[in-house]
Structure 1
């Protein structure tokens, strides 16, 4: 895995190599093994390398035989050997055994349509010297990030925002639309970032920059995939076959591999199937919490580790680890992302780095197969909405709950009155529209449907579950789950591979009827049934946890410190938000009136982000 960056002059502005070096070397953690740069007329490309495949000759930037096509690339093509053979048959000459060179020649052969041939995770930029054209792309699901900006006659791009900010033309200004939406989602939904002028290239998209004009193109989506009529038994067998194929492809490496094992169904399935494919014990890694047995996953992870005789490693996280790491966490994230599981993810990645360079994980199965409990809640609310008088009853319940200060009851009463498109904005949400209006001094909040509405429109008429899964695949998955996964593993120089998100497996899952996903009130029905011969019943049919974090207890233990950070006279919160809102939330949490940790966490992350990126002279940790 790697870090990439580049500068392209739009109107004759000089591109300085020293500016590229400053950008590139903000990402040493992404590629500690090697670095390189390419400079040409009006262009410069930079690269940091974490060596995984073709350790001796995979240096970048890399060019074709005559130097007319140059690439910087971050990712892995799992089918590159097959594609290499096709290109050899068409007369292309290779000087390395790397997947990077395969992309170069595929672009020469097929042009921008080369993306149709790639199976893997990637973000890359190609400079076509003859056409003076930049062609860049991001993988279909969004496993690898790609940011870009245009300032002062220059086009800048990079794997991380901090690299763009290292260029002297960069501007550090808050994107107020993104700020508003951040407090609705807990993360910044793409293509926005928290920085005005910097955008994310969306998953499944490419861009072409030519003659000063930027064009974006969506090259892949799953919204057009139709539901199949496959029998449940056949669906289970086919899903496992495809998952095995995906895992096998992701074992391609010249360095040691391991698995993040949470003790849940998804990561346990990866361990079980991978164990059949390797001759040595699988190295597995788990994280838990000091003094919090109820929140620990160790019991179930150990059960799976014992069954498959893995080489198992554990890390126990404390409240001090959790809060002490926050400034570094936010610097690595680039922008606020209020998902508390980012911190255990960093620590488990750091533990893994002591033993391996590549890890596999179970991300993505919930979005493919309906694994989150909230999907059942939304479907239940749909059924209640169809009852006579339901809207009036919900309105009355909401008024009573609000008067009694019962925030969650009031929240669900309000949702019962809304259609799915307004009610469901994703797995993780923070403040309601009413709460955000109060937060910003009565200003009208930007509706979350601004983000989710276009995606709901693409799947109009589909079953409710499929619509929710599609929205989460387009918003929550790339902008929260995969963003934190990339940033936290790259912070420790570990490459993460996600078998459930192979695009062919994603397409197959999208074609399955909803009865394969949630059935008899059981989430991820197909996967659990398919894995019954591989995993203990206790692992398959317990409640979902993932990387649970005892944040509520830790917030109460550290309230004084949190109060000091958020309510300091010089805090960003006092500048951006209505006076008294935060103090009231903290007081509610201290008194135990409501568990407000999920609401306070986004404020704390935002405060540290302001300190890391917006204070004058700040450029790194």
Structure 2
């Protein structure tokens, strides 16, 4: 993974702050961190175990990079980045392509940038007049006097999405830089972030369908080729769904040896996709393994999972991501995955929103699209009034935190097409704040580098240039991917509806996880925190279906994830 971090102002004499930040982020790379200090600021780079990134200093100008740039290597070296900045200023960032976060320290200016898709993350804060930045919140929380106050609106957002969307974080006075944006600190103030990767502004083009399919295939080939490492071993997470199968097919076409692939299941009594992952592995020629994951395997490690997530993420899929990465890391350094197919190329979860948009079916109030989108996550949006205490709800504006967050997307001039608007929201929110950070943290916890070619910026731009009917047509999703790889994958992979990884938390909290849930969510602990209504939590623990909406298992998982995270942060264990 690697890391960058730093802060404005003079360094303390013994470098205590830098060392504390380096220690907090040490799991991300190979110590010691390379620390550079100018008259106005400090920046540091912690090398990744795969050697990507770097830091360079010249006459007080410092540039630090975590991640990897793609393209001509003569244009992606640290020396070239420094020269490009001297010639173009921060505009040079528009020419970069890859998976990275970048810091430029130039006199009293600190510029931060995050790659267009948001594969990497960077956070920042203004504390006691200092601008502090790091690739994970842990780096900022290494400042022992940084306030650890929860942001009330973020709790409602987390319960509605299972993650915190947008630039706000779970903590007050800490922000996440949005994908494809830069932010500048200068003369004691933080300027408004600016977008440099506005994929939504792509104009629609007219081409023959076969031309679009060829272009998708060509760009996907390049995306996979760019990510293939020059050295190190490579594997594949192969679920048996379309997305990972497409990536696996292309990977095996470009590599001259079988690569190991993995899929998971939770026991014969639960639904799984093993027959499809087996069929895909046999067709593409990977060396496939199936991994059984049960509560007794992950429960002792659940606190570690939450610790590495940094921001609470209530998607149960984070757990198998972590467990599978632990196994894969024993054999490979890099792992390809199929993340990105749904948000970029129109997954099936868009269909209910489209039906409501076209035909109605719900009361069309002024915010009906925003409300329908929030409900489509099937989390706890419809349970907030019962789940949160009145005291907690009084501390934030529900509209500003939830519906108001989505309104700018629906009212934006571009994209014009409604399906494209949904994809833009999914890329900007779900991709950047759930899918990509989750995978990066869970694989990185085991020194494994994730590779997600379907989130390549060129493919994102293609998605918004091509007709929306190549995303969704007559109820069939991700049409262009299926057309491009229909002759390279088993027919069952191409034609079957998407299933997705279904973690059976609904059943586990009735049996294997019942005692653990009651311990973490005991009435005394819930009451003491003052955030959740202990009566509603008790109903969820009892699987009381007479009150509120269903999805008890998922809600319990989100509550436990949040509570473990809250206690870690509150006890200053980071």
Shift of 1:513: 1.3
Q: Is 1:111 aligned with 2:109?
A: no
Q: Is 1:312 aligned with 2:306?
A: no
Shift of 1:419: 3.2
Aligned runs of 1:62-461 on 2, under 5 Å? Answer: 62-63=56-57, 66-81=58-73, 83=75, 99-128=77-106, 131-215=107-191, 216-294=193-271, 296-371=272-347, 373-385=348-360, 419-425=368-374, 428-432=377-381, 435-436=384-385, 439-441=388-390, 443=393, 446-447=398-399, 448-459=402-413
Shift of 1:14: 4.7
Partner of 2:6: 6
Q: Is 1:588 aligned with 2:555?
A: no
Question: Greater CA deviation, 198-207 or 248-257?
Answer: 248-257
Work out the CA distance in 1 between the residues paired with 2:118 and 2:551: 33
Q: Report Cα offsets for 1:172-228 as digits up to 9, x if no partner.
A: 111112112212211111211111111101111112222223222211212211222
Are 1:589 and 1:595, in contact at CA under 8 Å, matched by a contact in 2? no
Distance 1:179 1:595, change over 3 A: closer
Distance 1:450 1:200, change over 3 A: same
Shift of 1:552: 1.1
Partner of 2:492: 538
Shift of 1:265: 0.8
Question: Greater CA deviation, 150-159 or 283-292?
Answer: 283-292
Partner of 1:406: none
Shift of 1:437: 6.0
Are 1:304 and 1:535, in contact at CA under 8 Å, matched by a contact in 2? yes
Shift of 1:550: 1.4
Distance 1:532 1:571, change over 3 A: same
Are 2:298 and 2:323, in contact at CA under 8 Å, matched by a contact in 1? no
Q: Report Cα offsets for 1:116-164 as digits up to 9, x if no partner.
A: 2111011111222xx3321210111111000011111211110110111
In structure 1, list runs of 5 or more residues that go unmatched: 85-98, 395-413
Work out the CA distance in 2 between the residues paired with 1:176 and 1:108: 42
Root-mean-square deviation over aligned CA pairs: 2.5
Q: Report Cα offsets for 1:231-290 as digits up to 9, x if no partner.
A: 222211211111011111111332222222111111111111111111111232222223
Secondary structure in 1 matching 2:280: helix
Are 1:147 and 1:158, in contact at CA under 8 Å, matched by a contact in 2? yes
Question: Greater CA deviation, 158-167 or 253-262?
Answer: 253-262
Partner of 1:608: 564
In structure 2, list runs of 5 or more residues that go unmatched: none
Work out the CA distance in 2 between the residues paired with 1:383 and 1:446: 27
Q: Is 1:518 aligned with 2:512?
A: no
Work out the CA distance in 1 between the residues paired with 2:304 and 2:198: 35
Work out the CA distance in 2 between the residues paired with 1:575 and 1:318: 32
Aligned runs of 1:547-586 on 2, under 5 Å? Answer: 547-557=501-511, 558-571=513-526, 575-586=530-541
Work out the CA distance in 2 between the residues paired with 1:450 and 1:421: 8
Secondary structure in 2 matching 1:425: helix
Shift of 1:69: 2.4
